A and B are shown apart, each in its own frame.
Chain A
Amino acid sequence: DAKTTQPPSMDCAEGRAANLPCNHSTISGNEYVYWYRQIHSQGPQYIIHGLKNNETNEMASLIITEDRKSSTLILPHATLRDTAVYYCIVRPDSGNTPLVFGKGTRLSVIA
């Protein structure tokens, strides 16, 4: 079973920041927080991951609370192409550990 809890859906106005929350209260010390998204009928796309420090790349920012029990994925200027299901996954940083997907958050970006 997935170790994360996410809201089932969210709306965001185009051009505004989209803040997607994730709870992972049982995260272990060696587990990272990964975010993937899946645009309709495509394969999941890796977005970002982090352990305890905040991370930023060209796609998004990841804010992890100090106790590591929750995190927020931030898309700074959402566009219509960001409409997708976003999955938050906790996983050790090892290439042989399978990803356990929950139901994710369906983000709708509205013009």
Chain B
Amino acid sequence: DAGVTQSPTHLIKTRGQQVTLRCSPKSGHDTVSWYQQALGQGPQFIFQYYEEEERQRGNFPDRFSGHQFPNYSSELNVNALLLGDSALYLCASSRITGKNTEAFFGQGTRLTVV
């Protein structure tokens, strides 16, 4: 079991550009959530996908969007990048029902906006 995998591991983008981050959930998981972690802070919830639809959203602007595919993998897109978008982006997968619903995280994508 490969667990939750994210790509790429590191990324440098210029202000104003767009970026796409990818996540493959743990086997057997159907729900993917994305978090942003600024330096020195705890992760902050961005949004969650289940059955290919955004189900919940945190306090993030519309520049942040996502997608979930039939195989449960997911993408996070950020448009019009700002310097403040520099952070570690974490993907977490879970099962929405059943006995074990704890979330498992990937290693994250470190995004630097210059």
* Interfacial residues, chain A to chain B (CB-CB below 8 A): 2, 34, 41-46, 49, 87, 93-96, 98-104
Q: Which of B11-19, B70-78, B79-87, B100-108 contacts A (4 or more CB under 8 A)?
A: B100-108
Chain B contacts to A: CB under 8 angstroms: 4, 31, 33, 35, 41-45, 48, 50, 55-56, 58, 88, 90, 92, 94-98, 101-108, 110
On chain A, the residues within 8 Å of B41 by CB distance are 103
Chain A contacts of B96 at CB under 8 A?
A: 94-96
- Give Cα A95 to B58, complex, Å: 16
Give 24 A-B contacts (CB < 8 Å), ordered by A residue: A2-B42, A41-B88, A41-B110, A42-B107, A42-B108, A43-B108, A44-B43, A46-B104, A46-B105, A87-B42, A93-B101, A94-B101, A95-B97, A95-B101, A96-B48, A96-B50, A96-B96, A98-B33, A98-B56, A99-B43, A99-B45, A99-B92, A100-B45, A101-B44
- Which chain B residues border A98 with CB–CB below 8 Å? 33, 45, 48, 56, 58
Q: Contact: B90 with A44, CB < 8 Å? A: yes
Cα separation A34 to B102 with both chains bound (whole Å): 9
Please, which residues of chain A bring their CB within 8 A of the CB of B101?
93-95
Among residues of B, the one whose C-beta sits closest to the C-beta of A102 is B42
B102 in contact with A49 (CB, 8 Å): yes
Least CB distance from A91 to B in Å reads: 9
Contacts of A49 in B (CB 8 A): 102
- Of chain B, the residue at the smallest CB distance from A87 is B42
- Pick the 6 closest A-B CB pairs, nearest first: A101-B42, A43-B105, A95-B101, A95-B96, A98-B45, A95-B94
